[in-house]
Amino acid sequence: MSLRKAAVKTSTIIIIALVLIIIAAIAGYYAGAAVAPAPPTTPPPKPQLIIYHWWTAGGEKEAIDAVFSVFKEANPEIEIVENPVAGGAGAVMKAVIWGLLASGTPPDTFQVHAGGELKEYVDAGYLDVVDSVWDELGLEDVIPGTLQAMCKFEGHYYAVPINVHRSNVLWYNPKIFDELGIVDKFGDPRTWDLDKFIEVARYIKENKPDVAPIAMASRNKWPLTHLFEVLLVLRGGPEVYAKFWTGMFDYKDPADPVWAAVKDVLKALAIMAKEGLFNANHPELTWDQAAALVYQGKAAMYVHGDWVAGYFMSVEAKYGEEWSAAPFPKAVFILLSDSFNMPKNAPHPDAVTAWLKAVGSSEGQEKFNLIKGSIPARVDVAPAYPDPYRPETADDFKKSTLVPSAVHGGISKEAFVTEMHNIVTSLATSAATGADIDTLVDASITQIMQAIDRTGLPDFWKGYTIDYFITKR
């Protein structure tokens, strides 16, 4: 009995103590807030730069470390507090950042795709203007119009781009191409149109049935939408492409010319799925596994972004023998770009300004992109590329017509792109099981119309025109 009583007594004391501590803490907090902050008794902490990014894979990490070293050289007193959040294209990091921004405790800077993805943060009022960094570095003179537009909303810049990737590239296996005489027969892939692309795929299927004409990986869905994006430029040109992804056309009218191009591209995808022009196991592969099929000679072609070059080099596949690349089409450059920004109420604004200057500097851009496998956002920086692919891309970046990528956060709204992933993969899946292509395509068009409505795509870009996104050359 007495033991039990003692136990109760002890627990009562503990609880009372805990309650007192909590009350004291709360009282202390409010007292501290009400009264002027107590003078610091310790010397001010070392200035920091709290940065979030998703570059954790091999190659990526080294690339961002190179920019850190450029930053450190100019700002040795600032400590970099890195918060890498693994997960392709920031799938996980976006949720983390959202929580920080919404709760009013933003980091100093974070990685974001320039374009629509960046605009979502701007619209929510989370970001500060960084016009002064653009002015000071003279970036308007060295960054092409489309990429400027992707960082600029309502007349102000909100981010500094660090790199450029190209989304429309045809990767192919040169041995298979030579063996079948593809280039002699069908011409340079740089000039193919949509019909020719399908024709070539069918020809490969006929003559080399054990090789998949087009490599595909739809386990994460987006590579199929990526193909759709590239084929839409191929079929409709940059204007139709921009109209479609921004919803700036009469989308409720099925007779609008944009729908004709979209219809052709959807039809092409359905044909590819139905006629087995993709590798049959595409729903179980990720983008790098599909790229592997090309250099291993199991697939002939692959339409994907130029991070594939980085992948081929990392597995030491031989250029000219195991892989080769052609801009597809050459005349248009679909670009995506990673950028850094300054959130409102960033804890160390001076450090962020210094960081953005490092990001936009020639040295930072050169060092980062050499390792990352991308090209600089600044056209005045020309690193000595060790690979055969990038010089042509860098040259096209100056000479081809530019449009932002939709699948990679540039020109569209992510909610709509997400719906497109499901619509396009559903179309391919149903086509592969033998359903009628015309019926499927019509159903997809209806779904896309509903998705444009549901996601509020046209409102997202209210006040902009398609010319804003296109650098015509």
Partner 1 sequence: MIASSLKEKLIFLTPILLITVILYIMIATSIYVSMSDWRSYKISLNFIGLRNYIELFSNPRFYAALRNNIIWIALFMVPTSFLGLVLAYIMVSTGKELIFRTVFLLPTAISMTVAGTLWVWMYASEGAVNTLLKAFNLSFLTKPWISDPSTALYALIFVTIWQYLGFAVIIFEAAIKGIDPSLIEAAQIDGASSLRIFWDIVVPQVRHGFLVAVPLLALSALKIFDIVYVATRGGPGLATDVLGYFMWETAFWSRFMADGAAIATIIFAISLGIVIPYALIALRRWFR
Q: Which of 283, 297, 347, 391 binds partner 1 (CB under 8 A)?
A: 283
Q: Give me the phi and psi of 8, to 5 degrees please.
A: -60, -45
Between CA 258 and CA 249 the distance in angstroms is 7
Q: Does 362 bind partner 1 (CB under 8 A)?
A: no
Between CA 12 and CA 353 the distance in angstroms is 54
Q: Give 72 or 156: the residue with its C-beta nearer to partner 1.
A: 156
Strand partners, 335: 166, 404
Q: Give 257 or 458: the residue with its C-beta nearer to partner 1.
A: 458
Q: Which of 8, 20, 22, 26 binds partner 1 (CB under 8 A)?
A: 8
Q: What is the DSSP letter of 389?
A: S
Q: Binding pattern to partner 1, positions 396-435, x when CB under 8 A?
A: ------------------xx--xx--x--xxxxxx--x--
Q: Does 94 bind partner 1 (CB under 8 A)?
A: yes
End-to-end CA distance of the chain: 92
Q: Does 211 bind partner 1 (CB under 8 A)?
A: no
Could you say which residues in the range 375-394 bind partner 1, by CB under 8 A?
Answer: none
Minimum distance, C-beta of residue 281 to partner 1, in the bound complex (Å): 4
Q: Which of 282, 304, 357, 367 binds partner 1 (CB under 8 A)?
A: 282
- CB of 212 within 8 A of CB of 298? yes
Between CA 95 and CA 81 the distance in angstroms is 19
* Integer Rg of the chain from CA: 26
Q: Give 425 or 471: the residue with its C-beta nearer to partner 1.
A: 425
Q: Which of 136, 154, 284, 438 binds partner 1 (CB under 8 A)?
A: 284
Could you say which residues in the range 30-89 bind partner 1, by CB under 8 A?
Answer: none
Q: Which of 109, 146, 168, 218 binds partner 1 (CB under 8 A)?
A: 218
**Binding-site size, partner 1 (CB under 8 A):** 40
Of 56, 109, 98, residue with least CA distance to 360? 109
Residues whose CB falls within 8 Å of the CB of residue 233, separated by 6 or more in sequence, listed in order? 168, 241, 329, 332, 334, 403
The dihedral sign for the CA sequence 67, 73, 75, 78? positive
Minimum distance, C-beta of residue 250 to partner 1, in the bound complex (Å): 23
- CB of 298 within 8 A of CB of 214? no
Q: Give 73 or 284: the residue with its C-beta nearer to partner 1.
A: 284
Q: Which of 61, 196, 221, 263 binds partner 1 (CB under 8 A)?
A: 221
Of 469, 221, 467, residue with least CA distance to 335? 469
Minimum distance, C-beta of residue 152 to partner 1, in the bound complex (Å): 19
Minimum distance, C-beta of residue 367 to partner 1, in the bound complex (Å): 32
Q: Which of the stretches 115-123, 142-150, 325-333, 362-370 binds partner 1 when contact is defined by CB under 8 A?
A: 115-123
Q: Which of the stretches 49-57, 241-249, 396-404, 451-459 binds partner 1 when contact is defined by CB under 8 A?
A: 451-459
- CB of 133 within 8 A of CB of 356? yes
Q: Give 187 or 456: the residue with its C-beta nearer to partner 1.
A: 456
Between CA 211 and CA 204 the distance in angstroms is 8
Q: Does 16 bind partner 1 (CB under 8 A)?
A: no
Q: Provide the greatest CA pair distance for the chain.
A: 99
Q: Give 446 or 465: the residue with its C-beta nearer to partner 1.
A: 446
Q: Which of the stretches 63-71, 117-125, 142-150, 387-395 binds partner 1 when contact is defined by CB under 8 A?
A: 117-125
Q: Which of 456, 465, 467, 472 binds partner 1 (CB under 8 A)?
A: 456
321: number of CA atoms within 13 Å, CB side? 4
- CB of 300 within 8 A of CB of 208? yes
Q: Give 283 or 458: the residue with its C-beta nearer to partner 1.
A: 283
Between CA 230 and CA 329 the distance in angstroms is 8
Q: Give 420 or 466: the residue with its C-beta nearer to partner 1.
A: 420
Between CA 181 and CA 281 the distance in angstroms is 27
Between CA 275 and CA 273 the distance in angstroms is 6
Q: Give 31 or 124: the residue with its C-beta nearer to partner 1.
A: 124
Cα dist from 149 to 52, 145, 203, 293, whole Å = 24, 6, 41, 36
Cβ–Cβ contacts within 10 Å for residue 382, how many? 14
Q: Which of 20, 21, 23, 280 binds partner 1 (CB under 8 A)?
A: 280
**Applying CB under 8 A, which residues contact partner 1?**
8, 11-12, 15, 91, 94-95, 98, 101-102, 120-121, 123-126, 218-221, 280-284, 414-415, 418-419, 422, 425-430, 433, 454-456
